Structure 1
Amino acid sequence: MPPTPQQPPLDALMTFLAVARLGRYTAAAEVLGVNHSTVSRRIAALEEAMGGRVLVRSAGGWEVTMLGRRAVEVAERIEASMGELVAGDDGNLVRGVVRIAAPEAFTSVFLVPAMARLRERHPDLSIELLAATRRVRQNRSGVDLEIVVGRPQVLRAYATPVCTYELRLYATPQYLARTSTPTSLADLAAHPLVYYVEASLQVDELDRAVQSLPASPPSIRSTSVFAHVEATAAGAGIGVLPDFLGEHDPRLVQVLPGAYSHPLAYWAVARDEGARNVAIAETLAAIARHTRVAQADQRTGSALQMRSR
């Protein structure tokens, strides 16, 4: 006979929530102020009480099982109730913690300023940002929102477009003077391309972005888009960069305008119930509002730059 589920200990449930969010026992232990053995013991107690596995190991850390998702939902409701217990009656209804995973360029350029403005209106709201360029996770228990590149294929989730952008080619004038300015895509075969490490690239849309380009000679590759910018600015080659970074870097000029651009879009993904959560809904609205204004300002700035040349 299968084991009969028992009442799970509260400390085990909240410890599990920390592991589900952070993905590692050691990280959860540090946040909770306990040791690794205590975390492991509490997770074992929760699994015994629930009669099954709540976590499974993966390459990126611990992932939540189907049974674990039920535990996450209960633990989050308990956490929210405890927050209401200690919160003052100040009329500020948006409070709690919103955890967002997003690519680092989007995080720095759009997300950080948007969240700073949001917290000016709602100082009881805590925002945790995890920089990650990866495909959307089918299990989103560790975060409330994910910003991903390309339209996601997800189940039991709410997805909405945030903004569009383009990958373009950039280099420094000094690099182009030292080598030669390409006049066609075929000419790129003679230039190192600065881009992502192919073996580490998890996003299909970013992989497809360079499939129309000729094979690159040996070059500098990185998992960091800001490393791409700095390597390009240092004259390491021609960088494949987001337009919202490349167009506004005074060290760079666009290469082969009109001959190459790869359109992309950022999407926001939340669990189905997430969009009905006041804090998450406000966060989504703040992101959409800020990116819309920021991109309008960038387009205006780009037009003024073109007229001044």
Structure 2
Amino acid sequence: MDWEELHSNLPSLMTFLTVARLGRFTAAADSLGINHATVSRRINALEKITGQRLLLRSPAGWEITTEGRQVFEIAEEIEHSLAKLVSEQTDAAVTGTVRIGAPEAFTGHIAVPALAHMQDHHPGLDLELFTSTQRARRNRSGLDLEIVVGKPQVPRSWEHPLLQYHLKLYATPEYLKHHRTPARLADLKDHRLNYYVEAILLVQDLDAALAKLPHMRTGISSTNVYAHLTATLEGAGIGLLPDFMAEPHPGLVSVLETEFSYAATFWAVVRQESQRNPAVATVYQALQDYAEKLHSHREGPTVM
């Protein structure tokens, strides 16, 4: 076994660790925000380095071989070391200004509560939040940390999946009573949809979710997700909403949940020039910790 090459192949090790834990390539691909072929390629690369089979297929999914157990333990040690490094960076008080760009839903439901608590421990840290739902910019954006929907493609940056959630259909019971509850997806053509303005929707994953639905009449379209939520609560139509936003509202019920649910992922993007900034590391860790807390309290968003 080439130990030096094994330790240097971090993406493949972390992919193997995820497959070993989840038992399926597809689940690992969804968790990591990559495709099935990339998972397979990384596992094959590890097996080539070790000269051993690391995983075997079983009726329950992929299981670790005896040789794979040793590699699994190495991968866990590296994961723990990385987590400890980030923790040590964030334990000390940090100062400065961190500029964060994120979609409205992430900002309001995750970033603000997470960072408000974090700022109590780091009073010298100033935070600036810029809300927009768009792709990560390939050129320098002036932001230290960006949160985007879908895997970004940004040169010279660190990218990591942060939180998976689901876009689902919601409506009020009163709306459904007066407009008939759709029994199948085809019935949606008789309803209005509250969602983004389609002509200027630039985020591929959000556009892909819309493409999974039959054509619907326009309800209240907006560039702001909170407008979608309010329009749906006011009975303006059926809303295509993030589950973590809609489910806390007792006035909304899920529509056609067994037929439609679109998984999307928030990704964190840190530019090369910000990667060694302790303040940025502190902010990212606060967001990661809050995402884990959110996941532990409810089923829905999945921590990466």
Superposition TM-score tier, normalisation by shorter sequence: 0.5 to 0.7
Q: Which residue identity lines up with residue 241 of structure 2 in the other structure?
A: L
Percent of matched pairs sharing the same residue: 49
Q: Distance between the aligned counterparts of 1:254 and 1:94, measured in 2?
A: 43
Q: Which residue identity lines up with residue 263 of structure 1 in the other structure?
A: A
Match of residue 230 from structure 2: 230
Match of residue 115 from structure 2: 115
Query: RMSD value over aligned CA atoms?
Result: 1.4
Deviations 1:8-51 (A, max 9, x none): xxxxxxxxxxxxxxxxxxxxxxxxxxxxxxxxxxxxxxxxxxxx
Match of residue 297 from structure 2: 297
**How many residue pairs end up in the alignment?**
210
Q: CA deviation at 1:270?
A: 0.8
Deviations 1:178-230 (A, max 9, x none): 01111110010100011000112110110010112111124211111000001
Task: Compute the TM-score of the two structures, normalised by the length of structure 1.
Answer: 0.66
Q: CA deviation at 1:92?
A: 5.6
Q: Distance between the aligned counterparts of 1:216 and 1:184, measured in 2?
A: 13
Q: Distance between the aligned counterparts of 1:238 and 1:134, measured in 2?
A: 23
Runs of 4+ in structure 1 off by over 4 angstroms are none
Structure 2 unmatched runs, 5+: 1-90
Structure 2 residue matching 1:276: 3-state secondary structure = coil
Q: CA deviation at 1:250?
A: 1.1
Q: Distance between the aligned counterparts of 1:146 and 1:226, measured in 2?
A: 20
1:263 partnered with 2:284: no
Q: Distance between the aligned counterparts of 1:272 and 1:188, measured in 2?
A: 45
Determine if contact 2:170/2:252 at 8 Å carries over to the other structure: yes
Structure 1 residue matching 2:115: 3-state secondary structure = helix
Structure 1 residue matching 2:275: 3-state secondary structure = helix
Task: Compute the TM-score of the two structures, normalised by the length of structure 2.
Answer: 0.67
Determine if contact 2:194/2:218 at 8 Å carries over to the other structure: no
Structure 2 residue matching 1:210: 3-state secondary structure = helix
Q: Which has the higher contact order (CA 8 A, sep 6+)?
A: 2
Structure 2 residue matching 1:101: 3-state secondary structure = strand
Determine if contact 1:102/1:130 at 8 Å carries over to the other structure: yes
Q: Distance between the aligned counterparts of 1:259 and 1:299, measured in 2?
A: 18
Task: Name which of structure 1's ranges 150-159 and 291-300 shifts more when overlaid on structure 2.
Answer: 291-300
Q: CA deviation at 1:93?
A: 4.1
What pairs up with 1:234-249 in 2 under 5 angstroms?
234-249=234-249
